[in-house]
Amino acid sequence: MQHRMIDHTSAGSSSHKPTTFGIMLKQWRDRRSLSQLDLALTSQVSQRHISFLESGRAKPSQEMILQLATVLEVPLRHQNLMLSAAGFAPIHAETDLSAPEMTSISKAISFMLRQQEPYPAIVIDRYWNLLLANQGATRLLNTFIDPEKIQKLFYIDGKINLMRVTFDPQGLRPFVANWEEVAGHLLQRVYGEANSSIESEQSALLFDELMSYPEAFELWNTSSRSTHNDLILTTHFKHNDLNLRFFSTIATLGTPYDITLQEIRVECLFPADEETEQNWSK
């Protein structure tokens, strides 16, 4: 039996990437379930002009591209692609967090990570690669996986992918007591991210990799039909007599003008019960 695969053609594989602004515009309009008339009314542009832009009969100005991209909620990374396809230079930078111009923002993120101590907090990119972690997050990983094992098995191309660490049987998988619930939710999230925008081949590949792990296919088919009686999803880590239950919050930066800042997420874990508070304080 084959597991669910993402269509890499629709997700934006390198051999089928849109090559014109018109194609990109139509794909984003379809992605947002808008008709040409809907987009015209919302963006205050004539429907005829939208039609001409999509067919290539009209060439957009830079201002028009950004106006339509804003209405369509196109991420900054993809706005650059639309600009390039129309013959304009990209305008949105992708700056490393360690760059001098990021100092104030890096300080704010570091402050958030410190404030979360002793509980875990991490910073991840749009592909679930670990960028930063506080001491609590490092402690949580090392509680269940030997640090040398993490470096040997999961440190790939200078990054640690947390989805891979979670699903791999040599990673956190054996220590998640409510595995079916947690894994089913994570599969839904990665699948949604892979299908939420054009040019998402890497997310699609990640989803396919996760689906190749044991029991993933069965979880994918049953997770959407499960019922939940709890207020919030918790992850129950268990090892021998140690029980830890955490729920998480996810924060993003408000109104970013840089690709890196738009794509990073700060995830903080909080104890879901008194037992976790007591066990974690030991």
Q: Which two tokens stand for residue 184?
A: 């089913």
Q: Is there a cis peptide before residue 120, judged by omega within 30 degrees of 0?
A: no
Show the domains of the chain with their CATH numbers. Answer: 8-85 (1.10.260.40), 100-280 (3.30.450.180)
pLDDT in tens, the chain (282 residues): 344 444 444 444 444 455 799 999 999 999 899 999 999 999 999 999 999 999 999 999 999 999 999 999 999 999 999 999 999 999 999 999 999 999 999 999 999 999 999 999 999 999 999 999 999 999 999 999 999 999 999 998 889 999 999 999 999 999 999 999 999 989 988 888 877 666 567 888 899 999 999 888 888 877 655 556 678 999 999 999 999 999 999 999 999 999 999 999 999 999 999 999 999 987
Long-range contacts of 83-90 (CB under 8 A, 24+ apart): 85/18, 85/19, 85/20, 85/21, 85/24, 86/21, 86/59, 86/60, 86/62, 87/59, 88/62
Residues 166, 123, 170, CA angle at the centre, nearest 5°?
A: 15
User: How do strand 130-133 and strand 265-271 relate by DSSP bridges?
Assistant: unpaired
Residue bearing tokens 């001491």: 135
Give the start-end residues of each E strand in 109-195.
121-124, 130-133, 155-156, 159-160
